[in-house]
């Protein structure tokens, strides 16, 4: 995971003792392994792809580009006669895209009632973490990932947000506002988006801090050819008592202080713009309902687990935790 993140090419190459390439590992491979029940303590062989694509030395670069495009690859290693890596080609180096055309929607309209008294005169996304409003932290993360077109969904104390961010020119981006006259929910406000969007939409709850690489998320969505992608986080609950197992009225055993793991909604989504037609105008709808509607219409909804840092700032204790954890 550290090699993938620090290498900035979204790929780790696995070599044997002789230095030969025996497998590749992507961020998507790790997330699929987590969904299949594997832990992060597994040996890399259980997660890597041993049937990787490669090209040999003295190749034709036009064929390399065609291979990358036709097989939906973003990287392909170059190996010599002994199977050792001599180079790594990236699709982005052939196409040189630094800017992502995808629009970003940040949900910033909630009242933050669980965070009172902090939110009595301040909208939740404007609460400070490491000296910056939470919403500005999210904006800067997206800018660093290559996004430049933003929509802020606003309602409660919205003028504070609009006055602070204005049109986004201070950050070199475009910010528009989805003004909710009444609360429309995390999906309902999407009905206010313009009709001419063509690229998958990144949607973020305005109260989530995470170290998730957003480009990895977008790649995950594209790789799985889904109409929507939901990010999830593993949440563990420990029962501080001995749990009694029964069979009818008979004792069947004890489970001493067990722990249970669940996947919870992380408040981060990718949505194809065609799915906006499923949202009724000016009606309340939350994202779980929309995702169920998408599935009911016969479309695919992918689930992407987050193994990076993630924190839902919904209560005073989590806000204090964020202020201790987060260093921008």
In the chain, what are the domain boundaries?
A: 2-95, 104-325
Q: Which of 55 and 253 is assigned the larger pLDDT?
A: 253
Mean pLDDT of 287-314: 91
Residue 226, pLDDT score: 93
Name the token pair of 275: 């799915």
**How does the average pLDDT of the chain come out, rounded?**
85
Q: How confident is the model at residue 292 (pLDDT cuts 50, 70, 90)?
A: very high
Can you give the pLDDT at residue 97?
A: 46
Task: Please state, in angstroms and rounded to a whole number, the distance separating the CA atoms of residues 167 and 42.
Answer: 47
Confidence of residue 39 (pLDDT cuts 50, 70, 90): confident
> Distance between CA atoms of 267 and 232, rounded to whole angstroms?
8
Asked if the model's pLDDT at residue 173 lies above 60, the reply is yes
Q: Identify the bridge partners of residue 14 per DSSP, sorted by sequence position.
A: 23
- pLDDT of res. 178: 93
Q: Is the pTM of this model over 0.85?
A: no
pLDDT value, residue 263: 87
- What is the model's pLDDT at position 203? 96
> In percent, how much of the chain has pLDDT > 70?
91
Mean pLDDT of 68-86: 76
pLDDT of 181 over the 80 cut: yes
Using CA atoms of 199, 196, 109, 303 in order, give the dihedral in degrees to the nearest 10: -30
The confidence score (pLDDT) of residue 322 equals 79
| CATH number for the domain running over 104-325 | 3.90.550.10
* Per-residue pLDDT tens digits for 92-138: 665 554 688 999 999 988 877 777 887 788 888 888 888 889 999 99
Q: Which CATH superfamily is domain 2-95 in?
A: CBS-domain (3.10.580.10)
């Amino acid at each position: 995971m550290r090699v993938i993140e620090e290498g900035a090419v979204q790929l780790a190459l696995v070599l044997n003792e002789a230095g030969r390439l025996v497998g590749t590992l992507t961020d998507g491979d790790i997330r699929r392994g987590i969904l299949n029940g594997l832990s992060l303590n597994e040996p890399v062989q259980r997660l890597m792809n041993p049937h990787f694509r490669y090209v040999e030395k003295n190749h034709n670069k036009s064929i390399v580009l065609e291979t990358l495009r036709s097989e939906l690859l973003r990287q392909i290693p170059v190996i010599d006669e002994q199977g050792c890596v001599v180079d790594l080609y990236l699709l982005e180096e052939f196409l040189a895209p630094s800017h992502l055309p995808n629009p970003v929607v940040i949900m910033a309209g909630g009242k933050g009632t669980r965070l009172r008294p902090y939110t009595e005169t301040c909208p939740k996304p404007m609460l400070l973490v490491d000296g910056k409003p939470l919403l500005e932290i999210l904006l800067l993360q997206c800018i660093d990932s290559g996004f430049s077109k933003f929509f802020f969904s606003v309602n409660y104390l919205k003028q504070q947000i609009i006055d602070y961010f204005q049109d986004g020119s201070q950050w070199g981006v475009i910010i528009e506002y989805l003004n909710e006259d009444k609360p429309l929910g995390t999906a309902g406000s999407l009905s206010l988006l313009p009709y001419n969007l063509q690229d998958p939409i990144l949607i973020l709850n305005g109260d989530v801090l995470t170290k998730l690489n957003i480009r990895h998320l977008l790649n995950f969505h594209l790789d799985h050819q889904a109409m929507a992608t939901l990010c999830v986080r593993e949440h563990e609950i420990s029962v501080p008592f001995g749990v009694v197992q029964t069979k009818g009225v008979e004792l069947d055993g004890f489970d001493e202080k067990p722990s249970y793991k669940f996947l919870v909604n992380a408040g981060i989504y990718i949505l194809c713009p065609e799915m906006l037609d499923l949202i009724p105008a000016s009606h309340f709808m939350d994202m779980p309902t929309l995702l169920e509607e998408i599935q009911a219409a016969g479309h695919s909804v992918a689930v992407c687990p987050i193994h990076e840092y993630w924190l839902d700032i919904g209560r005073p204790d989590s806000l204090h935790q964020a202020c201790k954890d987060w260093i921008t």
